[in-house]
Amino acid sequence: MERLTVLLLINDLRGGGAERQVIELARGLDATRFRPIVATLYGGQPLEEELCAAGLPPVSLERRHKLDFGTVRTLARLLRRERVDVIQPFLTPATFFGLTAGLVARTPVKIVTERCGLRARPGPGSNVYRFFEDRLTRFADAAVSNSDAGRLYLMARGIRPEAIRVIHNGISPARTAFSERAARAVRDQLGLPRDARVAGIVASLQPAKDHETFLQAAARVSDAVPNAHFVIVGDGELRAHLESRARDLGLATRVRFTGNVPDVAPYIAAFDVAALSSCDHEGCSNALLEAMAMGRPCVATDVGGNGELVVDGETGLVVPARDPERFAQAMTRLLNNPDRARAMGRAGRTRFDASFTVGRMVRAYEDLYAELWARRAARTARGAPVAVAKEAKTAK
């Protein structure tokens, strides 16, 4: 197979699960078989430095504002100039622009990616883009979800089942490397007592993550576990509100808000229990995978793909969404039983090693690219008028 040029398109690289997966995929692809290009609608964001360090500086399409549809023309030119063989956009509206430009430029292989297992409350803007994206998807060669829940979500939107593939996220070892000394340093930095039992959550402070349920559960846990403390890693639009809610719930001395941190591993290592209280938009959670990779038991809501990662009663506990009482019972059960919690953490690590490494994820995408390219080549050989694609590859 000739070396394929793969363009990965995303809105920006400011941070988040999808952005992290794009970086890991671009860095992990076999350079002898694939030439990755990462393009963004908007440039100048922090995670771009990681790609530059890997010798893969991203290309910004410099979209000026939300009504700037000239981005389609800019991207189509890029696809032609770089003779891109595979375009794979991530997130809305990058998917709209990527598929539209791919059709204009006649890019041979087009792949849709779905990062959520559900969207119970999409915004009006997302609904408009999703309407067009779903119709453009009929021209795509495949639609990839990162969870079985995402597969069902795509089918509910009318995407052909035979076009859907499931490739779960993968986590790089660099994201989960830590030392016990670093974990102790984090506890000291946060002012946690040496005997504290710690439940923590790593998630952006936005409505879909439902930190309100986590805080209400924490208030209940505090009554049952006197030395329980709680850590919230992340930042976002709801921070001031959530800090106020923590005070209202009598948790001012029990909850620490860290804001965004560049390296989450020492913080997760400081947890006795990793929690995720999402109520929406959850596909394949990087935070849960990182906790599993580090041997931490998880308490997660049964939303999107969470139940595919956390095996209830084996690697952690899965509870209904928006149920502070059940969430509190689960956290209390693990915080009060350290031996059981450690056993679940070990089981989670075993499950992670078997199914969720970054190498496994990258290989799955490599196999998909090769399969779709071979299928395209077979159609061309049968007389489809796409011989130009082959000539372009030879010219490289």
How far is C-alpha 253 from the geometric centre of its chain's CA atoms?
32
The answer for residues whose C-beta is within 8 angstroms of residue 241's C-beta and 6 or more apart is: none
CB 136 within 8 A of CB 103: yes
- The contacts of residue 314 (CB under 8 Å, 6+ apart) are 344, 347
Q: Counting Cβ atoms within 10 Å, is residue 391 exposed (0-12), middle (13-18) or buried (19+)?
A: exposed
For residue 396, name the pLDDT band (cuts at 50, 70, 90).
very low
Residue 393's pLDDT is 52
Read off the pLDDT of each residue in 10-29 and give the average, rounded to a whole number: 95
pLDDT at residue 200, rounded to an integer = 98
Contact 365, 25 (CB under 8 A): yes
pLDDT of 66 reads 83
- Asked whether residue 197 carries a pLDDT value surpassing 80, the answer given is yes
Tens-digit pLDDT profile for residues 286-340: 999 999 999 999 999 999 999 999 999 999 999 999 999 999 999 999 999 999 9
305 contact partners, CB below 8 Å, separation of at least 6:
117, 146, 147, 148, 149, 150, 168, 282, 283, 284, 285
Q: What is the pLDDT of residue 129?
A: 83
**Structural domains in the chain?**
4-170+357-395 (3.40.50.2000), 174-355 (3.40.50.2000)
- Residue by residue, DSSP assigns 142-162 as EEEESSHHHHHHHHHTT--GG
> Distance between CA atoms of 375 and 111, rounded to whole angstroms?
14
pLDDT tens digit sequence for 336-355:
999 999 999 999 999 999 99
pTM of the model: 0.92
Statement: residue 384 has pLDDT above 70: no
- Which residues contact residue 29 at a Cβ distance below 8 angstroms, ignoring those fewer than 6 apart? 6, 36, 362, 365, 366
pLDDT band at 392 (very low <50, low <70, confident <90, very high): very low
Alpha carbon distances (Å) from 154 to 94, 127, 151, 325? 17, 14, 5, 32
Task: Write down the pLDDT at residue 395.
Answer: 44
Q: How far is CA 365 from CA 30, 144, 187, in A?
A: 11, 9, 38
Interval 161-177 mean pLDDT: 96
DSSP for 26-42 reads HHHS-TTTEEEEEEESS
For residue 93, cis peptide bond before it (omega within 30 degrees of 0): yes
Q: How far, in Å, are 31, 83, 225, 393 from residue 390 at the CA level?
A: 20, 11, 66, 5
pLDDT digits (tens, 9 = 90+) for 233-268: 999 999 999 999 999 999 999 999 999 998 999 999
Cα–Cα separations (whole angstroms), residue 387 to 38, 78, 382: 26, 20, 10
Cβ 178 vs Cβ 261: under 8 Å:
no
Q: Which residues pair with 202 in a beta bridge?
A: 233
User: Kind and range of the H or E element at 352?
Assistant: helix 338-355
CB of 109 within 8 A of CB of 140?
A: no
390, pLDDT greater than 50: no
Is the pLDDT at 153 greater than 50? The verdict is: yes
pLDDT at 82: 98
CA–CA separation, 230 vs 247, rounded Å?
13
Q: Which helix (H) or strand (E) holds 199?
A: strand 197-202
| Distances 19 to 14, 101, 110, 122, 332 between C-alpha atoms, Å | 8, 21, 19, 19, 33
d(C-alpha 38, C-alpha 55), whole Å: 11
Look over the chain and give the mean of its residue pLDDT values, rounded to a whole number: 93
Is 395 strand, coil or helix? helix
Mean per-residue pLDDT, 97-120: 93
